[in-house]
Amino acid sequence: MIGLISATAAGAAARDRLAAAWPDRTRVYEGPVGDAVRTAFAQCEQLVCFLATGAVVRLVAPLLSGKTEDPGVVCVDEGGRFAVSLLGGHAGGANELAREVGDLLGAEPVVTTATDAVDLAGLDTLGLPVEGDVAGVSRALLDGEAVALRAEVAWPLPPLPVTDEGPYTIRLTDRLVKAAEREAVLRPPTLVVGVGASKGAPVEEVLGLVGDALREAGLSVASVAELATVDAKAEEAGIVEAARRLGVPLVTYSAEDLAGVDVPNPSDAPLAAVGTPSVAEAAALVGGGELLVPKRKSAASPAMATCAVVRRPGRGRLAVVGLGPGARDLLTPRAKAELRRASVLVGLDQYVDQIRDLLRPGTRTLESGLGAEEERARTAVEEARKGQAVALIGSGDAGVYAMASPALAEASDDIDVVGVPGVTAALAAGAILGAPLGHDHVSISLSDLHTPWEVIERRVRAAAEADIVVTFYNPRSRGRDWQLPKALGILAEHRTPRTPVGVVRNASRPDESSRLTTLGALDPAAVDMMTVVTVGNTATRDIAGRMVTPRGYRWQAAQGGAE
């Protein structure tokens, strides 16, 4: 919850804007400011104070307890010009909150955290538990000193300026090791603990067993990703509470699924009780991996719990990112976040140039020219299989005539794939033209490089007969100058020459141009590969110079068929 505190009318107005925008995330604290800050500080994960920073410093100073315990605090000035990340920039999420508040209120976010100031991923922002000399290693990264990365397990990290050797070290491990001098230890969630338990097994017995198993195997509890068990034990109190105390999810599987897992130590007891010869080992091994701790029983007599520990292989991450039609303000915040997260960027050279300034220092770029789509898809998947965090970029939406389909055709289930939607050329053009896509619509590419013309023609004819608005991608090039006239001719068999047609070139880019014409007047020679052509249906109208397709045909009848 985000606590909101203000002292003046102007502050209250800005406060209320946040409260209205985030009704489920915020709580307004009224009354004397000092009391409000103290109460919110104790009750909330974050605070936004519409007060002077000096006043907030004096109020929160006696309340501070530690970097990882204190809430994030953001201050917004009386004029609403700045959103200052004052406390808990990383651990408390104040840096990101300042950016969010700034976006909503039109204020400039002020972030002074050293790593953020130079666009370096902070070790405490990677979403992994971190131990050791975090401040010293971070300072070395900032100062450009040599910092070595010792990755004992694979994990998709963001770009970091690391080397093979150096006086400082970042160690990526799930082993139970103590950080050495000048070393920061990152704990990736690579361990899965399978658990079985008799009815009524105490939580202390389950936790004690898990703790002993990890400690004796030299494994860190901070790297436990989940507890896993059979469906029949999904509500077993000892297991549920153990997962809660460990701060990890409890994942359950059907007895049928577990029975199909090959395990080294099957038993008749669980087979009779829940329908599978193994619970702990099978539940831990469902997703594959290396069995580090075979099934073991708790020390109690009689033993009421069993566990097994598996290290799952680190999975690379492939984000397929749509960059939108070109304008920077049409690039989504999620796309920007994925670009900053990626340690490897794969894309068409001109698209890489388009967003190069958004990449963190150290991001490796793999770029190629037109016509190498399948090669880029293979490269991106191969890099992800090496355990990297990869972003594969495409224009518009990456799933629409772009890189998502070839990439997913190459990818198997050994990597994580994330799709990041983008604003398509059809949507950008539609917004420029008016509302041509207000009813059913279809996009058709006229390029026959990947699709036989016979198939394209059949699709155009079907859209024409169904009276669907059509947006043509790749309408005409120097080597393909007959396809657009042919497609328009097919549509003309079912629509009048007065049917509105929108032509948009380089939508949202500096040299954008657009015009509204008709099916009978459109000159195909004025169209090229940078153009999107949208042909209306029989209900589409030119209204005040805007292309409008009504949401229903009754609307057309009510207007008396007005042009």
DSSP strand pairing (531-535 vs 469-473): antiparallel
Tokens of 495: 């629509």
Judged by average pLDDT, the poorest of 243-247, 317-321, 558-562 is: 558-562
DSSP helix/strand/coil, 398: coil
Residue 76 has pLDDT above 70, yes or no: yes
Residue 77 has pLDDT above 80, yes or no: yes
What 67-74 contacts at long range (C-beta under 8 Å, 24+ apart), as own/partner pairs, is: 67/91, 71/3, 71/41, 71/44, 71/45, 71/46, 71/47, 72/45, 72/46, 72/47, 72/97, 73/46, 73/47, 73/49, 74/46, 74/47, 74/48, 74/49, 74/98, 74/101
Q: What is the pLDDT of residue 490?
A: 96
Q: What is the pLDDT of residue 286?
A: 93
Helix then strand count (H, E) for the chain reads: 19, 28
The per-residue DSSP string of 435-486 comes to: ETTSS-EEEEE---SSS-HHHHHHHHHHHHHTT-EEEEES--BTTB-SHHHH
- 8 A C-beta contact, residue 90 and residue 122: yes
Q: What is the pLDDT of residue 556?
A: 54
CA-to-CA distance for 405 and 335, rounded, in angstroms?
18
Computed over its alpha carbons, how large is the radius of gyration of the chain? Answer: 29
Q: Whose CA is closest to 51, among 70, 73, 27, 68?
A: 73
Residue 160 has pLDDT above 90, yes or no: no
Which residues in 327-414 belong to E strands, given as ranges?
Answer: 344-348, 364-368, 389-394
CA-to-CA distance for 498 and 508, rounded, in angstroms?
27
Q: What is the pLDDT of residues 449-478, one digit of tens each?
A: 889 999 999 999 999 999 999 999 999 988
CA-to-CA distance for 390 and 433, rounded, in angstroms?
36
CA-to-CA distance for 529 and 52, rounded, in angstroms?
54
- 8 A C-beta contact, residue 321 and residue 393: yes
Q: What is the pLDDT of residue 336?
A: 92
Residue 115 has pLDDT above 70, yes or no: no
Which residues in 329-449 belong to E strands, given as ranges?
Answer: 344-348, 364-368, 389-394, 416-420, 434-435, 441-445
Average pLDDT of the chain? 90
Q: What is the pLDDT of residue 117?
A: 60
**Helix-helix angle 237-246:203-216, to 10 degrees:** 50
The per-residue DSSP string of 167-191 comes to: SEEEEE--B-----TTEEEE----E
Tokens of 546: 């805007």
- pTM here is 0.75
Q: Which helix (H) or strand (E) holds 428?
A: helix 425-433
Q: What's the sign of the alpha-carbon dihedral 483, 488, 491, 493?
A: negative
Residue 247 has pLDDT above 90, yes or no: yes
Residue 559 has pLDDT above 60, yes or no: no
Q: What is the pLDDT of residues 265-295, one digit of tens each?
A: 888 888 888 889 999 999 999 988 999 999 9
CA-to-CA distance for 179 and 291, rounded, in angstroms?
25
Q: What is the pLDDT of residue 562?
A: 41
Residue 561 has pLDDT above 80, yes or no: no
| CB burial string 307-338: b at 16+ within 10 A, e below | bbbbbbebbbbbbbbbbbbbeeebbbeebbeb
Judged by average pLDDT, the poorest of 196-210, 264-278, 452-466, 547-561 is: 547-561
Q: Which helix (H) or strand (E) holds 110?
A: strand 108-110
Q: What is the mean pLDDT of residues 503-518?
A: 94
Tokens of 289: 């991996």
